[in-house]
Amino acid sequence: MFILCSSSKTRAQLLKKAGIEYIQKNCDFDEEKIKSKDPYEFVTLASFGKFRECKKCFENENIIAADTVVSDGKKILRKAKNKDEAKEILLAQSGEKIKIITSMWVSLNGKIFSRLDETIYEFYEFDKDDLEKYIQSEEWIGKAGACMVEGFCKKYIKTVRGYESTAMGLCVEELKNIIRSEHAY
């Protein structure tokens, strides 16, 4: 049994689909105070900050903490704060390659594991009417880079390299490997 230290519905769905037992709880960590512009450093610091706070709250429990960012190769495409920002962020991805990077920290049986995984997508150009419909739906709220590879963006995927679960916020394939390695002993 794990404590998923995240309020993300998508991460919870990934664990449920993978058959990994969890309870979802959250500890406060303000990732806005992270100043790094490097997507790999930022996501690692954010996920570790969440993990550290959760370890304080749930000291002897098995814990999963994760964070995800989207990068267009030049900058981090954060969570959009409004519809205009969502449109700007999504237009930066239209017809382009992006990296979706997820950092995960796991405490299992007293051991700590860390993973940094990425999935690279190349998208076809987004249809402007379809994009507008997606923005109006507000499904992008709370999503790194306003990107939903399991939703709106799926039909525009030209190429993909990596796991969809990584892009959705938690690499369950690698989490299962961690769990298997611990139970093998």
- Helix, strand, coil shares of the chain, percent, nearest 5, are 40, 25, 30
CB under 8 Å to 38, separation ≥6 — which residues? none
Cα(71)–Cα(93) distance, integer angstroms? 9
Cβ–Cβ < 8 Å for 147, 10: no
Whether 67 is a known active-site residue: answer yes
Catalytically annotated residue among 28, 30, 38, 67: 67
Q: What is the DSSP letter of 74?
A: S
β strands within the chain, DSSP E: 2-5, 22-25, 63-71, 76-77, 97-108, 111-123, 157-161
Q: Which residues are catalytic?
A: 67
